[in-house]
Amino acid sequence: MTAKAKKKARVTIDLNSPEHFINRELSFLEFNRRVLAQARVKSTPLLERLFFLCIASSNLDEFFEIRVAGLKQQVAFGSVQGGPDNMSPSEQLQKISAVAHERVEEQYKVLNEEVIPGLKKEDIHCLNRNNWNQKQQKWIKGYFNRELLPILSPVGLDPAHPFPQVLNKSLNFIISLEGKDAFGRNSGIAIVQAPRALPRLVQLPQSCSTHAYDFVFLSSIIHNHADDLFPGMKVTGCYQFRITRNSDLLVSEEEVGDLMRALEGKLPSRQFSEPVRLEVHDNCPQEMIDYLTHHFNLQHNDVYQVNGPVNLNRLMKISQKVKRPDLKYPAFTPGVQNRLLKSRDIFKSIKKGDILLHHPYQSFNTVVDFVRQAAMDPNVLAIKQTLYRTEDDSSIVDALIKAAQEGKEVTVVIELRARFDEEENIELAHELQSAGAHVSYGVVGHKTHAKMSLVIRREGRQLKRYVHLGTGNYHAGTARQYTDYGFLTSDHGITDDVQKVFQQLTALGKPGKRKKVLQAPFTFHKGILELIDREKEFALNRKPARIIAKMNSLVEPTVIEALYRASQAGVKIDLIVRGICCLRPGIKGVSENIQVRSIVGRFLEHTRIFYFYNEGDYDIYLSSGDWMDRNFFRRVETCFPVEEKRMKKKLLKEGLQLYLTDNTQAWILQSDGSYKPSVPGNTNPRCAQIILLESYAN
């Protein structure tokens, strides 16, 4: 085929064709499979393998609470509209059910065949109730009578005692009974709910332990003493179950006068919203399962029978209680840049040049110090800050409160709708307001996901602005677990753009022209499309063209189509997408020049870095947002350039190229939507995260 004929053939390909897109939900389940696979890696420390198992379980919980719940609502409303892959909501639910059942079965197989035997070899035991010795039985009996019996409220079902409200993801038991009580009652069925305050895993004291660490499950304790809850009656069966409910808070933001009060009113409903999944122990009789599914209005494919505790995430307590550093990743101390070590004045350091921070390899304390020094500095007049997720006892929040109390102008934009952190953020808003800070909740209909801190300081006769921008949250805890970049600058163009974004969030007005920063929902999407198309034009003109992009998720269809067009033109494209990816690589005539890889390891890969060759004068952007519909159109995001040459080179080398050579923790996306692990083969093993840990070792 001639070059002209090839070009004509390419033009006829419909890039919107559903076969060119991977389903979003199935892509997530593939990602969670990669997380679970980490629990099977023999070289990973044992308690870290347990951690990955718990994370995979927790991820699946949220998937059902939000994504499956949303699809069920669409089916209930009669929706048949599919996404770019053209799969209807009902078709998605069918495929999700098939894959999710396989994943759940695999989770418990990993637990029972690998993790628990591994723990036993290290003298850490989760004791089955059939294996308790006499001394242990006595202690557990006392624990039950002392700690559980006064709190538990068993409900025998009859007309005066209807089925109790079951909390979202709570531990419950359905119990079959024989006999009659003092009033002559016997419905044959009772429900026992385990209050959230009770620990799901109880460590036995050394006085009755036979191993270094002996644990018993709360479910085993209740099961073993169920007869004591129904004196004079015979318990013929006791089966644990858990209900997962729709946890998406639906607030009509256009119809409420106060978003905080509206959310406060909605939070309790999350615990008792529509059920979407039933988990039961695999020894539960079918008639009991049928009874529960009928009560919760669920279908057979909504039931997940499990060989173990119904909430694997509770096993995380083992890692917290077991003091065995040798069974965890080696501790490390984040590094600190030499320039920051030489000067305690962070503003003086920033004036000498931009500062790039790579977390967790470099200390998040630099970001804390930036806000803390601003709070204490008498020359600082104002601090403006966005907060999406923070930890308890946040040093940054303490500094903002101190600054407000000292009379500085403190403005904080808190995203109240940060999923599952709504309650904490509401409390945070109250705390800051009480200190005298100006608190706003951003823009109705758009989550404020941008990570920005702006300090305005008087220096002589001028006001000087300093900015921190990041790819991750202002959360010291996750800064040790997530890979993220932080950027400190006093560059006029960037600081001016950031000030305008804050004005948008706290006041009214049109976006206006930005000098350097791409901002969602206005210029982020358009800017990325233009940068992709520029590389495409270079390729069409037979010039070198290259795109490398690293992000958490790639979903937005017009960006995917732009990448397809660039690939058709000959642009070499490497994508490092940790989680969901709807782009299908390797399609003949469409995406042959695109490779997609996912890195899953010790740290959660959270950086967003975008590289465009630009005829050798390459551009690099860092971003708070992924290439998803919500980040482009329904959130306030910042995507900002890094312009200093040494920093650009550093970002390209350690933020992108290093990950493209990782052959131990990388998974390569195949055209069918599956992933294959990268293996070293005849080359030396290379792990990006380990190399970075060693290079930044302090």
In this structure, are residues 519 and 446 in contact, taking their beta carbons and an 8 Å threshold?
Answer: no
Q: Are 200 and 309 in contact (CB under 8 A)?
A: yes
Q: In the beta sheet, which residues pair with residue 56?
A: none
User: Backbone phi, then psi, for 355, in 5-degree steps?
Assistant: -120, 125
b/e string for 44-83 if b means 16 or more Cβ within 10 A? Answer: bbbbbbbbbbbbbbbbbbebbbbbbbebbbbeeeeeeeeb
Q: Which residues contact 532 (CB under 8 A, 6 or more apart)?
A: 547, 559, 562, 563, 566, 612
φ/ψ of residue 682, rounded to 5: -90, 0
CA distance 404 to 48: 41
Q: Cβ neighbours of residue 112 under 8 Å, at least 6 residues apart?
A: 307, 308
Identified catalytic residue from 125, 358, 449, 525: 449
| Torsion angle defined by CA atoms of residues 506, 507, 510 and 511, in that order, rounded to the nearest 10 degrees | -20
Q: Identity (one letter) of the amino acid at 68?
A: V
Tokens of 154: 């068993």
Environment class of residue 158 by beta-carbon count within 10 Å: exposed (0-12), middle (13-18) or buried (19+)? middle
| Tokens 């256009």 belong to residue | 254
Alpha-carbon distance of 589 to 6, in angstroms, equals 9
Q: Annotated catalytic, 525?
A: no
Q: Please spell the DSSP secondary structure of 182-234, one letter per residue.
A: TTS---SEEEEE--TTS-SEEEPPGGG-SSSEEEEEHHHHHHHTHHHHSTTSE
Measured at the CA of 300, the angle between CA 298 and CA 306, to 5 degrees, comes to 100
C-alpha span between 235 and 237 (Å, rounded): 6
Cβ neighbours of residue 303 closer than 8 Å, sequence gap 6 or more? 278, 279, 280, 289, 293
Distances (CA, A) of 317 to 37, 115, 202, 224, 602: 21, 14, 9, 22, 19
φ and ψ at residue 76, rounded to 5 degrees: -60, -35
Cα torsion for 394, 399, 402, 403, to the nearest 10°? -140
Residue type, 376: M
Q: Count Cβ atoms below 10 Å from residue 673 Cβ, excluding itself.
A: 16
For residues 215 and 122, the answer to whether their CB atoms sit within 8 Å is no
Element spanning 484, H or E: strand 482-489
**Alpha carbons 163 and 175: distance in angstroms, whole number:** 12
The residue among 80, 104, 109, 106 whose CA lies nearest residue 93 is: 80
CA atoms within 13 A on the CB side of 286: 1
Q: Give the catalytic positions in this structure.
A: 449
